[in-house]
Amino acid sequence: MPKIDDSIPFRPVGFAVIIVSDTREPSTDKSGDLLERRITEAGHRLVSRLIVKDEPEDIRRAVEAAAANPEIAAIITSGGTGFTGRDVTPETVEPLFDKRMDGFSALFHRLSYDVIGTSTIQSRCTAGRIGTTFVFVLPGSPGACRDAWDKILKDQFDIRHRPCNFVEIMPRLAET
Is 142 domain-assigned? Answer: yes
Is 176 domain-assigned? Answer: no
Report yes or no: 143 and 164 within 8 Å, Cβ to Cβ. Answer: no
Give the CATH number, domain containing residue 68. Answer: 3.40.980.10
Separation of alpha carbons 88 and 56, rounded Å: 7
Chain centroid offset of residue 62 CA: 14
CA dihedral 20, 126, 163, 171 (to 10 degrees): -70
Question: What residues make up the domain containing 86?
Answer: 10-161
pTM for this entry:
0.97
Is 34 domain-assigned? Answer: yes
Q: Is the peptide bond before 9 cis (omega within 30 degrees of 0)?
A: no
Is 167 domain-assigned? Answer: no
How many folded domains does the chain comprise? Answer: 1
Is 1 domain-assigned? Answer: no
Strands 74-78 and 126-130: what pairing?
unpaired
Is 168 domain-assigned? Answer: no
Query: Tens digits of per-residue pLDDT, 9-68?
Result: 999 999 999 999 999 999 999 999 999 999 999 999 999 999 999 999 999 999 999 999
Query: Tens digits of per-residue pLDDT, 124-134?
Result: 999 999 999 99
